[in-house]
């Protein structure tokens, strides 16, 4: 029997807490430690993962724990430095999306991992949600015929008023690139999963809530190498009519010559 994969998490903020909880549900994994710069988050970690050690210094944690995998659940601007710390120690790393704030930083980050010979993965998880897995299965089996279009209307409704995002992820307010960089990147990856690689793209973006720095609304049109056409239409100001917009925040249509899935 294989020993469990030894995990260390960097970050204990809003989404990192989902990561911390999820690792402990996997019998194949053992969560050893969590690192966060905020001392107040130690109490949160103690509650979520009582057996995990808490650190405020990532280098010290990696040196003392030497995990098999490091889960980097921190904002994009920190990814390059943290991946380099992993690369220097020969440790596999997972980062949250987006990979980095700029293309140049993303390239440098990937090159550091390649030169060190470590595994580097980006946490694009929407494509693994069961409804997208089922859609992919139906497409692969030809249930819809040749796919000609995909569309997504995103309306989470969590970006209203002066306190938009402050209670959950306050750094959202200051992001100069927001809707696509932070949110739609998940759907773009899912579009690629269902339709193939992107061959052309154009976009119109704007800001609806004046208290934030970046765009919170936009329409993006895609061409795919397989011949399909895609439209992402999203804003974080208006709400989807679902009872729980944290669970259902939009609608997806897949249209083929043999049928429609929505």
Average pLDDT over residues 42-46: 95
What one-character-per-residue DSSP string does 233-252 give? EEESSSBPSSS-TTT--EEE
pTM: 0.87
pLDDT at 168: 85
pLDDT at position 234 over 80: yes
pLDDT in tens, 160-188: 999 999 988 898 999 999 999 999 999 99
Domain-by-domain residue ranges, the chain? 5-123, 127-261
Average pLDDT over residues 84-103: 95
pLDDT at 249: 86
Residue 187's nearest CA partner among 98, 95, 102, 94 is 98
pLDDT at 243: 82
Mean of per-residue pLDDT scores for the chain: 95
Q: Does the domain spanning 127-261 belong to CATH 3.40.50.300?
A: no
pLDDT at 227: 95
Higher pLDDT, 124 or 254: 254
Look at the domain 5-123 and name its fold.
Answer: Rossmann fold (3.40.50)
Average pLDDT over residues 149-166: 94
């Amino acid at each position: 029997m294989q020993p469990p994969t030894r995990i260390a998490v960097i970050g204990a903020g809003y989404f990192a807490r989902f990561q911390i909880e999820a690792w402990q549900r996997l019998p194949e994994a053992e969560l050893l430690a969590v690192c966060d710069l905020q001392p107040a988050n130690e109490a949160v970690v103690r509650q979520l993962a009582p057996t995990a050690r808490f650190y405020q210094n990532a280098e010290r944690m990696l040196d003392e724990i030497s995990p098999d995998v490091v889960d980097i659940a921190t904002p994009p601007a920190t990814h390059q430095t943290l991946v380099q710390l992993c690369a220097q120690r020969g440790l596999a790393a997972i980062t949250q999306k987006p990979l980095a704030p700029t293309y140049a930083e993303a390239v440098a980050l990937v090159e550091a991992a390649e030169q060190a010979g470590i595994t580097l993965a980006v946490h694009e998880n929407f494509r693994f949600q069961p409804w997208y897995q089922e859609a992919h299965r139906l497409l692969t089996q030809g249930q819809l015929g040749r796919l000609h279009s995909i569309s997504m209307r995103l309306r989470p409704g969590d970006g209203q008023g002066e306190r938009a995002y402050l209670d959950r992820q306050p750094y959202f307010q200051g992001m100069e690139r927001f809707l696509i960089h932070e949110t739609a990147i998940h759907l773009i990856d899912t579009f690629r999963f269902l339709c193939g690689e992107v061959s052309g793209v154009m976009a119109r973006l704007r800001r609806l809530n004046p208290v934030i720095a970046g765009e919170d609304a936009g329409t993006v049109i895609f061409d795919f190498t397989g011949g399909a056409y895609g439209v992402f239409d999203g804003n974080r100001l208006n709400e989807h009519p679902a009872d729980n917009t944290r669970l259902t925040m939009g609608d997806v249509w897949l249209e083929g010559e043999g049928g429609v899935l929505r």
